[in-house]
Structure 1
């Protein structure tokens, strides 16, 4: 926004201090004048051998120059003192302004770190530092996400290019095999693109909220993924209570499906299990999915909700995923004002809990 130049805040405060001091001085002199008038007669009063008491005219002639000098001193003192005090008071604001200008130029690593005890300026500086810290983390995350997304999208495109080059250089190659491989690569690219769009949708929170029961979504997701679980020799166990919340049925079903799919795919080679449960608390409802699997380190578990992170090596086959499963789950949970918690199971596998607000009223 373009603004016309105006007086500085320091000048305004200086004039305010000086004006207040002048008003206070004028009121004080007025009080002294009124007080003296009570004891000074309108005319001279003879006192005998000692002379006479001065009248009001004499008092006015003596008082006016002194009062004028006092007011002049108060004006000068108010301007100089106000300018100094305003500068001291606004010094923290100058540091905040300098940090803001650096931030607008793209430098998010700078921090104000205003010393001293807490006051309004220091609360503002601390809030600004916290905002810069969150912005820096968000920008870094977006940069990593963009780099990872570019890498992930580049892979199927590069494979497609290679397959097409092979087909052009080898006309006798089996076309059916080439088409199947191209279809598989193209499907992966489409899945990745749709996942990226879904992740963007949840971050913008552009969806309609309505009553949803997480227990019903868990049953629906279980039925849809039961063939995959049977194919991989994984047993799914469901339990829990009715868990009502408010949100997008489609997105919450995606959350549940992603959790269950992730638990099935990243499981033991044979005789693995997945437990799906729902619970109701005083102010929230929970959907918990835990599975058997490999023992994971705490450091690896802490990164599973980041985009394009996988608990183990890339899964081969039609259900390998695109590395956005838990990232999408976390984004959906946060878009519904909820949280996602991932902990490792000592025996192997992980336990993921999505906690969402319970409906009010």
Structure 2
């Protein structure tokens, strides 16, 4: 906003201080003069002429002194007011300088005014807090932008792969009409199914990221039961035993998304398990203010470094990349996104004997 130049606050403060000091001095001098002038008639020994002469003498001697005193008060008020204004407004100058720097995009500096709490220091502390929040917000936006850029690049690569395979299969079929069409159709079906699954996973990930869902009370124990029953044939196929437990566990969120979260966790625990006689433990529990879902499985040993990357989109361990259950690389990424969209947390901890211990903490109704 453009403004015309005006008088500085320091000068206004100085003039106000000097003016107030002179006004107070003038009132005091007037009161003293009136006191002496009115006190003369109390003496009965003076005649009227003598009283008049005495008043003139008093005025002649008092007025110059009063002028000198007022001049001294003026100079003292101007100098003292200027110095006091400089000291009083110094914190405001620091706040102004920090504001100018922040307007240029520099959010790392802080005012940090020393001394005990007063109005200026309260303002400076509030401004420091605002700068800290803005800096954290900008850093988070930059991180998200980088993640989105990396995610878009990975998604493009993942989608390009099945399309390239389909194109190659069609070119082979066109070049050799005598080749078995049934085999090509079956391979095309497999590739297209993978592309469809990847697209649906990307759409689900986008929906969860936008938090475009209605929150309601959901019993996590029933959700876990539904997920385990759905995946029971897959567990039997892999020779994995599922053990579930837990009482009523109310959580606040979307039933469909929480079911997807639980299904992904249980599916991940089944397909990345021991070659035979593996076990998956699914448990729900209630903690103060939160509902907790725990999925634990046996399996190969995983390093903490590898576990930290498993929730990143399209990140898989080496053994997962070369298995027939490699998936699309978005299972745990979707779980993490759904948990965060519900203001919850997801924790992956390698088990010392092998496998993973995954905990999803979600807000409970009224928590």
- Show the counterpart of 1:344: 350
CA change 1:258–1:162 in 2 (3 A) is closer
- Show the counterpart of 2:280: 274
CA distance in 1, matches of 2:305, 2:152: 23
Q: CA RMSD in A?
A: 3.5
Map Cα deviations across residues 157-205 of structure 1 (whole Å, 9 max, x no partner): 2442354245335242443333333333333333333333333333332
CA change 1:290–1:165 in 2 (3 A) is closer
Moved more, 284-293 or 320-329: 320-329
- Show the counterpart of 2:228: 222
Q: How does 1:283-322 map to 2 (within 5 A)?
A: 283-315=289-321, 319-322=325-328
CA change 1:306–1:32 in 2 (3 A) is farther
CA change 1:20–1:238 in 2 (3 A) is farther
Aligned residues: 350
CA distance in 2, matches of 1:37, 1:188: 103
Moved more, 234-243 or 84-93: 84-93
- Show the counterpart of 1:101: 104
Deviation at 1:212, TM superposition (A): 0.8
- Show the counterpart of 2:10: 14
TM-score, normalised by the number of residues in structure 1: 0.81
Is 1:167 aligned to 2:170, yes or no? yes
Deviation at 1:291, TM superposition (A): 0.8
CA change 1:178–1:212 in 2 (3 A) is same
- Structure number with greater Rg is 2
Is 1:239 aligned to 2:253, yes or no? no
- Show the counterpart of 2:152: 149
Map Cα deviations across residues 48-85 of structure 1 (whole Å, 9 max, x no partner): 9xx94655686456425642563365346545763575
Deviation at 1:299, TM superposition (A): 1.9
Could you list the runs of 5+ residues in structure 1 that have no partner in the other structure? 104-109
Q: How does 1:203-218 map to 2 (within 5 A)?
A: 203-218=209-224
Q: Are 2:270 and 2:297, in contact at CA under 8 Å, matched by a contact in 1?
A: yes
- Show the counterpart of 2:187: 181
Instruction: Name the structure where helix makes up a greater proportion of residues.
Output: 2
Map Cα deviations across residues 319-344 of structure 1 (whole Å, 9 max, x no partner): 53322222222222222222222212
Moved more, 83-92 or 272-281: 83-92
Q: Are 1:238 and 1:275, in contact at CA under 8 Å, matched by a contact in 2?
A: yes
CA change 1:64–1:299 in 2 (3 A) is same
